[in-house]
């Protein structure tokens, strides 16, 4: 009887997970749904304790099933919370400041290593328009919601060093809340020069937004984030890009032109994709586009996602 109950609860757990991801994909639930784990996690202890009272006759799958259903019910009652980086000012004394971001491009620089250390953030990354700020590596704006006493804090959040023909740039939101730890939101709008090759490394608690790299020469890309909803767009740049994306429960959209070769290595639990429908072929743990070997531009991605969805868009490229 116990084995039958365990099989039923495991089946219902998988069905519930599937239904939740359908609701997330069709925006009936928002990805902020997962933030309710922070509110309801003590329920797991309560359910586990009930299981002990019944001599462990309640399997773990049943505990997780009840917990997920409780999260759904809780979400229906109180609504979905915004993801970190989308929160309003919930504390007294908070101020919002907007500061410009400006990094000059020395004439002898051929490569830039850009490190973005963000908390919860709304991010927009695009290429500088041709003819605009020709002597700039990076322009943009930072908007931060600050809490408490910020005296003695380094408010720049930006540092640069040059080594040979490489410029190292670090942009961090941590410095904006070093004394209190109460930074609740940061918005970054970055415009990058297309004259140099990039190593981009972004670490964030959670992100919401777009990285349009279609006109940028990105050799290496690394993104580490928690629960997020973001898109990354690549272009036909004539180079090989190697990327590693580590994410929590997220919704990720990849936009890669049809004529660009793609290989994606995916590691994840309960992660849904449309790779087969978008023309990729499965090769062990890799998904590979049929044109990969012959393509001039190649995108090589290693994606690890705890749960969520990955959608691949393959727009046609207009050949003049």
Neighbours of 194 (CB within 10 A): 16
> Cα(23)–Cα(284) distance, rounded to whole angstroms?
30
Angstrom CA distances, 181 to 10, 156, 184, stand at 40, 17, 9
The model's pLDDT over 70-124, given as tens digits with 9 standing for 90+, comes to: 777 766 655 555 554 444 443 444 556 778 899 999 999 999 999 998 877 789 9
Q: What is the DSSP string of 222-267?
A: EEEESS-EEEEE----SSEEEEEEEEEEEEEEEE--TTSEEEEEEE
Q: Is the pLDDT of residue 32 over 90?
A: no
Domain borders along the chain are 2-78, 95-313
Q: Is the pLDDT of residue 183 over 50?
A: no
The reported pTM is: 0.69
Q: CA 307, 311, 316 angle in degrees (round to 5)?
A: 165
Helices (H), the chain: 2-25, 37-40, 42-53, 60-78
């Amino acid at each position: 009887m116990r084995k039958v109950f365990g099989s039923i609860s495991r089946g219902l757990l998988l069905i519930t997970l599937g239904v939740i991801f359908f609701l997330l994909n069709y925006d009936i639930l928002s990805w902020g749904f997962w933030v309710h784990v922070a509110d309801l996690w003590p329920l797991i202890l309560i359910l586990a304790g009930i299981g002990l009272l019944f001599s462990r006759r309640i399997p773990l799958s049943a505990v997780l099933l009840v917990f997920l259903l409780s999260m759904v019910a809780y979400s229906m009652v109180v609504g979905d919370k915004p993801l970190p980086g989308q929160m309003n000012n919930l504390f007294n004394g908070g101020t919002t400041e907007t500061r410009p971001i400006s990094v000059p491009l020395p004439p002898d620089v051929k490569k830039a290593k850009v490190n973005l250390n963000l908390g919860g953030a709304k991010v927009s990354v695009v290429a500088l328009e041709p003819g605009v700020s020709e002597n700039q590596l990076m322009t943009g704006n930072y908007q931060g919601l600050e809490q408490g006493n910020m005296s003695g804090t380094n408010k720049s959040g930006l540092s640069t060093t040059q080594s040979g023909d490489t410029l190292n740039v670090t942009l961090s939101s941590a410095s904006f809340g070093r004394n209190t730890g109460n930074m609740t939101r940061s918005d970054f709008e970055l415009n990058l020069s297309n004259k140099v090759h990039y190593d981009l490394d972004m670490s964030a608690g959670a992100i919401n937004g777009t990285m349009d790299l279609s006109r940028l020469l990105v050799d290496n890309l690394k993104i580490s984030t928690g629960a997020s909803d973001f898109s990354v767009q690549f272009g036909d740049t004539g180079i090989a890009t190697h990327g590693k994306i580590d994410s929590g429960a997220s919704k990720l959209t990849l936009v890669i032109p049809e004529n660009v070769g793609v290989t994606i290595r995916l590691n994840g639990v309960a992660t849904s994709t449309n790779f087969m429908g978008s023309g990729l072929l499965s090769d062990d743990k890799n998904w590979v586009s049929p044109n990969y070997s012959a393509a001039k531009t190649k995108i090589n991605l290693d994606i690890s996602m705890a749960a969520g969805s990955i959608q691949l868009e393959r727009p046609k490229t207009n050949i003049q």
